[in-house]
Amino acid sequence: MSEITFHKATLDDVDAYLAIEQKVIHLRMYSGISDREEAREDFATNEVYLIKKDGVVIGSTEYQIQEGGIVYMSGLVIDPDFQGLGIARKAIEFRLSLVGDAKRMYVVTHPHNSKVIGMYLSYGFMIESWKDDYYGDGEPRLILVFDRSK
Protein backbone atom coordinates (compact mmCIF):
# COMPACT_ATOMS: atom_id res chain seq x y z
CA MET A 1 0.00 0.00 0.00
CA SER A 2 1.35 3.42 -0.92
CA GLU A 3 2.23 5.90 1.78
CA ILE A 4 1.69 9.67 1.85
CA THR A 5 4.23 11.56 3.98
CA PHE A 6 4.90 15.21 4.79
CA HIS A 7 8.40 16.68 4.98
CA LYS A 8 9.36 20.16 6.17
CA ALA A 9 10.91 21.84 3.14
CA THR A 10 14.29 23.58 3.17
CA LEU A 11 15.85 25.85 0.57
CA ASP A 12 17.38 22.73 -1.01
CA ASP A 13 13.83 21.75 -1.99
CA VAL A 14 13.02 24.89 -3.99
CA ASP A 15 13.48 23.21 -7.39
CA ALA A 16 11.33 20.20 -6.46
CA TYR A 17 8.68 22.63 -5.20
CA LEU A 18 8.82 24.69 -8.41
CA ALA A 19 8.55 21.55 -10.57
CA ILE A 20 5.11 20.82 -9.09
CA GLU A 21 4.03 24.48 -9.29
CA GLN A 22 4.94 24.44 -12.99
CA LYS A 23 2.32 21.76 -13.58
CA VAL A 24 -0.61 23.87 -12.34
CA ILE A 25 0.53 27.46 -12.84
CA HIS A 26 -1.42 27.79 -16.12
CA LEU A 27 -4.76 27.37 -14.30
CA ARG A 28 -6.89 30.54 -14.25
CA MET A 29 -8.11 29.69 -10.76
CA TYR A 30 -4.62 29.28 -9.32
CA SER A 31 -2.07 32.00 -8.61
CA GLY A 32 1.19 30.11 -8.24
CA ILE A 33 4.91 30.68 -7.84
CA SER A 34 7.07 30.52 -10.92
CA ASP A 35 10.63 31.51 -10.04
CA ARG A 36 13.30 30.70 -7.49
CA GLU A 37 13.40 34.14 -5.90
CA GLU A 38 9.66 34.12 -5.28
CA ALA A 39 9.87 30.55 -3.96
CA ARG A 40 12.67 31.44 -1.53
CA GLU A 41 10.63 34.38 -0.26
CA ASP A 42 7.66 32.04 0.17
CA PHE A 43 9.80 29.54 2.10
CA ALA A 44 11.04 32.34 4.36
CA THR A 45 7.53 33.49 5.29
CA ASN A 46 5.59 30.19 5.32
CA GLU A 47 5.90 26.76 6.87
CA VAL A 48 6.26 24.71 3.69
CA TYR A 49 5.95 20.93 3.52
CA LEU A 50 6.60 18.68 0.57
CA ILE A 51 4.11 15.86 0.11
CA LYS A 52 5.65 12.56 -0.94
CA LYS A 53 4.03 9.38 -2.20
CA ASP A 54 6.27 6.39 -1.72
CA GLY A 55 9.16 8.83 -1.29
CA VAL A 56 8.49 10.83 -4.50
CA VAL A 57 7.46 14.52 -4.32
CA ILE A 58 3.89 14.84 -5.60
CA GLY A 59 2.79 18.09 -3.99
CA SER A 60 3.27 20.78 -1.39
CA THR A 61 1.27 22.32 1.37
CA GLU A 62 1.92 25.34 3.54
CA TYR A 63 0.63 27.66 6.20
CA GLN A 64 1.64 30.96 7.73
CA ILE A 65 1.18 32.09 11.32
CA GLN A 66 0.26 35.75 11.27
CA GLU A 67 -0.11 38.47 13.88
CA GLY A 68 -2.39 37.52 16.75
CA GLY A 69 -1.96 33.81 16.06
CA ILE A 70 -4.15 33.94 12.95
CA VAL A 71 -3.32 31.07 10.59
CA TYR A 72 -3.34 31.54 6.84
CA MET A 73 -3.68 28.14 5.15
CA SER A 74 -1.57 29.37 2.27
CA GLY A 75 -0.45 26.76 -0.28
CA LEU A 76 -1.83 23.44 -1.46
CA VAL A 77 -0.83 21.85 -4.74
CA ILE A 78 -1.07 18.25 -5.88
CA ASP A 79 0.63 17.02 -9.06
CA PRO A 80 -2.20 16.51 -11.62
CA ASP A 81 -1.00 12.91 -12.12
CA PHE A 82 -1.89 12.24 -8.47
CA GLN A 83 -5.08 14.28 -8.08
CA GLY A 84 -8.41 12.68 -7.18
CA LEU A 85 -6.79 10.27 -4.72
CA GLY A 86 -7.71 12.12 -1.53
CA ILE A 87 -4.21 13.55 -1.04
CA ALA A 88 -5.33 17.19 -0.72
CA ARG A 89 -7.73 16.19 2.02
CA LYS A 90 -4.84 14.46 3.82
CA ALA A 91 -2.79 17.66 3.44
CA ILE A 92 -5.56 19.75 5.00
CA GLU A 93 -5.82 17.29 7.89
CA PHE A 94 -2.04 17.31 8.31
CA ARG A 95 -2.02 21.10 8.69
CA LEU A 96 -5.05 21.04 10.97
CA SER A 97 -3.18 18.56 13.18
CA LEU A 98 -0.44 21.21 13.55
CA VAL A 99 -2.40 24.47 13.77
CA GLY A 100 -6.08 23.49 13.97
CA ASP A 101 -6.48 24.89 17.47
CA ALA A 102 -5.83 28.46 16.25
CA LYS A 103 -8.59 30.91 17.11
CA ARG A 104 -8.87 31.98 13.49
CA MET A 105 -7.77 30.28 10.26
CA TYR A 106 -8.44 31.37 6.72
CA VAL A 107 -8.00 30.25 3.12
CA VAL A 108 -8.05 32.27 -0.11
CA THR A 109 -9.34 30.45 -3.17
CA HIS A 110 -10.96 31.01 -6.55
CA PRO A 111 -14.78 30.83 -6.58
CA HIS A 112 -14.51 28.06 -9.23
CA ASN A 113 -12.15 25.97 -7.10
CA SER A 114 -15.00 23.79 -5.92
CA LYS A 115 -12.73 20.97 -4.68
CA VAL A 116 -10.98 23.34 -2.27
CA ILE A 117 -14.17 25.10 -1.22
CA GLY A 118 -16.01 21.82 -0.56
CA MET A 119 -13.17 20.39 1.48
CA TYR A 120 -12.69 23.39 3.76
CA LEU A 121 -16.46 23.75 4.28
CA SER A 122 -16.45 20.12 5.45
CA TYR A 123 -14.04 21.11 8.26
CA GLY A 124 -16.24 23.97 9.45
CA PHE A 125 -14.78 26.85 7.43
CA MET A 126 -17.34 29.37 6.15
CA ILE A 127 -17.32 31.67 3.16
CA GLU A 128 -16.67 35.11 4.63
CA SER A 129 -16.18 37.38 1.64
CA TRP A 130 -15.60 37.81 -2.10
CA LYS A 131 -12.69 39.95 -3.30
CA ASP A 132 -12.44 41.07 -6.90
CA ASP A 133 -8.99 40.99 -8.52
CA TYR A 134 -7.43 39.72 -5.27
CA TYR A 135 -3.94 38.96 -6.67
CA GLY A 136 -4.05 41.61 -9.40
CA ASP A 137 -4.59 39.02 -12.15
CA GLY A 138 -8.18 40.10 -12.78
CA GLU A 139 -9.57 37.00 -11.03
CA PRO A 140 -11.78 37.08 -7.94
CA ARG A 141 -11.16 35.11 -4.76
CA LEU A 142 -13.27 33.86 -1.87
CA ILE A 143 -12.04 34.13 1.72
CA LEU A 144 -13.00 31.05 3.75
CA VAL A 145 -12.69 31.39 7.50
CA PHE A 146 -12.78 29.18 10.57
CA ASP A 147 -13.29 31.41 13.58
CA ARG A 148 -13.65 29.95 17.06
CA SER A 149 -15.19 33.13 18.43
CA LYS A 150 -18.20 32.79 16.10
Q: Which residues sit at the interface with ligand COA, rule CB under 6 A?
A: 24, 27, 30, 76-78, 83-89, 109, 113-116, 118-119
| Least Å from the CB of residue 61 to ligand COA | 9
Q: Which is nearer to ligand COA, 13 or 110 (CB)?
A: 110
- Long-range contact set of residues 13-16: C-beta below 8 Å, sequence gap at least 24: 13/48, 13/50, 13/57, 14/39, 14/40, 14/43, 16/50, 16/57
Q: Which is nearer to ligand COA, 20 or 102 (CB)?
A: 20
| Pairing of the two strands 104-109 and 71-72 | parallel
Are 116 and 89 in contact by the 8 Å Cβ rule? The answer is no
| Least Å from the CB of residue 74 to ligand COA | 8
| Least Å from the CB of residue 27 to ligand COA | 6
